[in-house]
Amino acid sequence: MPELFLTLSPQDWQAIRLTLKLCLYTTLILLLLGTPLAWWLSLSQSKLRTAIQAIVALPLVLPPTVLGFYLLLLLGPHGAVGSTLQQLGLNHLAFSFSGILIGSVIYSLPFTVQPLLESFRRMGPRPLEVAATLGAGKLDQLFSVVLPLCRGGFIVAATLTFAHTMGEFGVILMLGGSIPGETQVLSVLIYDHAEAMNYAQAHQLSLGLLISAFVVLFIVYGLHRRFEREAPL
């Protein structure tokens, strides 16, 4: 095991750092965006909301590179977003960290929203009613009731999002261009190693990835279980 990591090159380490950053940012952004979105979706019954719920899942059905290509068109200098940014004197987003971050956020959106939505629905109205009669406003309810009660849903959402972002490379490759330190995340690097038939390196990185992911997931799920045992719902 120790040798395993001794042989990692600086490029590998850079990719690891970058991957962690991307996964962390994506997960955080998606929890921030996904929570209100899922909340809103859970409340009403209108057709519009059903439509939006369906739309949220759509990025999933496209092959990642194809999605990446469309995003490249959108975020690149000729695309709606990219050209607007350029007119504002900013850079377009293709081949930048921000670009792959946007790509990851869009691509993993359903993995955040769906479990949260289901979790919110199942909680039912009673705990919120109770909190309201005890003087808790909407935001207060979110933090003091929804978050702790739907912890399981948040954990599922966060781990699926994190893991999915970690493994995804199609969108990132197309949109990011594999720039070391900027867009060359671990999945791209492992892919490159595998394609180049540098199997030793690919195996080593894969194994490292699997082990660390396992450790993290084990701890997260273990803690969640402990909580559940202490305060069963």
- Encoded one letter per residue, x for contact with its own copies by CB under 8 A and - for no contact, window 184-203 reads ---xx-xx--xx------x-
When asked if residue 136 is in the footprint of other proteins (CB under 8 A), the reply is yes
Q: Which residues contact 129 (CB under 8 A, 6 or more apart)?
A: none
| Spatial contact of 205 and 12, defined as CB atoms under 8 Å apart | yes
Based on CB atoms, which residue is closest to other proteins, 147 or 211?
Answer: 147
Q: Which part of the chain contacts other proteins (CB under 8 A), choosing from 17-25, 42-50, 56-64, 167-175? A: 167-175
Based on CB atoms, which residue is closest to its own copies, 114 or 141?
Answer: 114
Rounded to an integer, what distance in angstroms lies between the CA atom of residue 33 and that of residue 80?
A: 22
Q: Where are the alpha helices (DSSP H) in 124-198?
A: 126-133, 138-141, 147-149, 151-167, 170-176, 186-195
Site for other proteins in 109-128 (CB under 8 A): 126-127
When asked if residue 169 is in the footprint of its own copies (CB under 8 A), the reply is yes
At 122, which amino acid appears? R
When asked if residue 228 is in the footprint of its own copies (CB under 8 A), the reply is yes
At 214, which amino acid appears? F
Among 75, 143, 79, smallest CA distance to 105 is for 75
- The burial of 198, by beta-carbon neighbours within 10 Å (0-12 exposed, 13-18 middle, 19 or more buried), is given as middle
| Spatial contact of 183 and 172, defined as CB atoms under 8 Å apart | yes
User: Which of 54, 89, 133, 135 touches its own copies (CB under 8 A)?
Assistant: 54
Site for other proteins in 55-94 (CB under 8 A): 65, 69, 72-73, 75-79, 82, 91-92, 94
When asked if residue 225 is in the footprint of its own copies (CB under 8 A), the reply is yes
Residues that bind other proteins (CB under 8 A): 65, 69, 72-73, 75-79, 82, 91-92, 94-95, 126-127, 129-137, 140, 144-145, 148-149, 151, 173-180, 183, 191-199, 230-233
